[in-house]
Chain A
């Protein structure tokens, strides 16, 4: 069974009376352990698509089925809890709580999940080491570079032990070295723990890393290829 199944997904924004068809009929499936990039130029609908998959936004039409379950059937309260337990999020920026240290940011999501203090402490340390910034545990986001901040965000996404991680242009604000490093790290996590990643980008360097490449054009899938690496 596929972990995510998307059927006939549509999103029309209708704010100023002029409807914007951001997503126009997407059908896709994602399997466990995939490392998928959604690519396409700015405005093609990547963020809109990921937001619907992550339950942050409601489709105008179509369904998002996660592990056999239509998420549209969840109440808004259930949906928040569903996201907390099952989906890891990494955004382009503003991923972290600025007043908390890197370690506390990661511990926070586990606390929301109700994990014990002992488990939190151990896992935070472990995760930060995994993403390669173990020494930054007591540093606040403001003191970290953009790349380091995104690493903390990935560690935070992993911390909740989600079914999959959605990352919307995680490297958009990074220089090329940091981009490479972040992707290496994400790919490693994917390999090591078989964690499913779906991330969006319009960055060629990122595209080269993906095992599956889905190209969006004007809200539609125009290409869907698997690359054996």
Chain B
């Protein structure tokens, strides 16, 4: 019956209880929802990085990471490609030749990273072709095609079908020029990427810089299951251990390739916790304050209960349950709100296009689909209960200090 009394006591001062419950509701909603937006944004960013840019893992000549020169290419790339492409985990493998270049139109020019790729291999490895907003992606049969990002296209004032001039350092130290037809424009919503990366056929690039087509700066591999990235990398590292040891190859997962994203993904759940913990710490003072008022108001009643024979454990339990009910009612409403909003926006997306410029320049998409794992709600529930129990201790101890003779006399 003590639990029943506690629950009913919550509703004795409706206005006050509703105020503190609203505070808990709003606080938790704020915490959970912002976390979900952050997590959603990060996961999308990760997804897009893996899909469009890094794939799951990449192989390089270690020297290339220090100096991204075309000379620092992978020795004997076919050895790796042939081994890797027959592994069952592998969805696609793309060997790329990369070079820095200047790209220009009559209107302007810009520095870019030129990716020489085999279109049909690249299509299996990254999904950049899905982000084409104008024109089409490269095809092997096209004559001197090039694909660039919208950011760069705008800067160059270039449209599909226009002729773009590339100049790149050739292998013998000269500057080589070539003209290419703009085949397609993509938009990954990551300004850094969209402004820097240009794609042409691997053969075209090899020809431009005067190198053998087999030359490979980078091997990108995509897996059917991203979760397997680390495991698969370990497997490859085992296989090519001697090559790694003599510094002829380095194998890195997307986390190592894009350490910022890797760190964000790894630490996101801590951010969520941090948010919620900070909010709960703020709320705990409100809850304590409310419960102290409750104890103060009911001095006589509590004294009477102690007088007629309610022991300290029960008095403590009565105050504690009331605190728990007060807190979890607000908590549950807060979580339901969060769940509702997150579910809605997970489907329809939150449009940040008002600040899209800023979002895109940080590499985030302008429409974010917030998400929070169910386990997070579960953890938050436990934290609310712990908060409530902690918040109840001080008021409950205050109640226990009451002396029945004095309390009933007041």
Q: Which residues from chain A sit less than 8 Å from chain B, CB to CB?
A: 47, 51, 54, 56-57, 77, 80-81, 83-85, 89, 91, 93-95, 97-100, 104, 107-109, 111-113, 156, 160
Q: Is B306 an interface residue (CB 8 A)?
A: yes
Residues of B within 8 A of A99 (CB): 5, 8-9, 11-12
Residues of A within 8 A of B9 (CB): 99
Residues of B within 8 A of A112 (CB): 309-310, 314
Residues of B within 8 A of A107 (CB): 1
A51-B405, A98-B12 given as contacts; is B309 within 8 A of A80 (CB)? yes
Q: Is B304 an interface residue (CB 8 A)?
A: yes
Question: A70: shortest Cβ distance to chain B, in Å?
Answer: 19
Q: Is B311 an interface residue (CB 8 A)?
A: yes
Residues of B within 8 A of A77 (CB): 311-312
CA distance A4 to B356 in the complex (A): 84
Q: Apart from A80-B309, A91-B304, what are 9 other A-B pairs with CB-CB below 8 Å?
A: A83-B309, A85-B309, A89-B307, A91-B408, A94-B408, A97-B305, A99-B12, A104-B1, A111-B1
Residue of A nearest to B314 (CB): A112
Residues of B within 8 A of A104 (CB): 1
Q: Is B354 an interface residue (CB 8 A)?
A: no
Residues of A within 8 A of B310 (CB): 80, 84, 112
Total count of chain B residues near the partner, CB < 8 A = 23
Residue pairs across A and B with Cβ atoms less than 8 A apart, 18 shown, are A47-B409, A51-B405, A54-B307, A57-B403, A77-B311, A80-B306, A81-B311, A84-B310, A84-B311, A93-B300, A94-B304, A94-B408, A97-B301, A99-B9, A104-B1, A108-B5, A109-B308, A111-B1
Q: Is B404 an interface residue (CB 8 A)?
A: yes
CA distance A95 to B308 in the complex (A): 9
Residue of B nearest to A104 (CB): B1
Residue of B nearest to A84 (CB): B309
CA distance A160 to B107 in the complex (A): 97
Please report the number of residue pairs spanning A and B whose Cβ atoms sit closer than 8 angstroms.
Answer: 65
Residues of A within 8 A of B308 (CB): 83-84, 89, 109, 156, 160
Residues of A within 8 A of B304 (CB): 89, 91, 94-95
Residue of A nearest to B6 (CB): A99
Residues of B within 8 A of A113 (CB): 309
Residue of B nearest to A58 (CB): B405
CA distance A83 to B301 in the complex (A): 17
Residues of A within 8 A of B312 (CB): 77, 80
Residue of A nearest to B9 (CB): A99
Contact between B405 and A94 (Cβ–Cβ < 8 Å)? no
Contact between A100 and B405 (Cβ–Cβ < 8 Å)? no
Question: A112: shortest Cβ distance to chain B, in Å?
Answer: 6
A56-B404, A57-B405 given as contacts; is B311 within 8 A of A100 (CB)? no
Residue of B nearest to A56 (CB): B405
Residues of B within 8 A of A160 (CB): 308-309
Q: Which of B1, B11, B12, B312 has the most A CB atoms < 10 Å from its CB?
A: B1
Question: A102: shortest Cβ distance to chain B, in Å?
Answer: 14
6 interchain residue pairs of minimum CB distance: A84-B309, A99-B8, A57-B405, A56-B405, A94-B300, A51-B405
Question: A26: shortest Cβ distance to chain B, in Å?
Answer: 17
CA distance A47 to B409 in the complex (A): 8
Residues of A within 8 A of B12 (CB): 98-99
Residues of B within 8 A of A95 (CB): 304
Residues of B within 8 A of A97 (CB): 5, 301, 305
Question: B13: shortest Cβ distance to chain A, in Å?
Answer: 11
CA distance A100 to B300 in the complex (A): 16
Residues of B within 8 A of A100 (CB): 1, 5, 8
Question: B312: shortest Cβ distance to chain A, in Å?
Answer: 8
CA distance A156 to B304 in the complex (A): 12
Question: B313: shortest Cβ distance to chain A, in Å?
Answer: 9
CA distance A156 to B310 in the complex (A): 14
Residue of B nearest to A52 (CB): B405
Contact between B307 and A56 (Cβ–Cβ < 8 Å)? yes
CA distance A108 to B310 in the complex (A): 10
Residue of B nearest to A54 (CB): B307
Residues of chain B from 1 to 56 with CB closer than 8 A to chain A in the complex = 1, 5, 8-9, 11-12
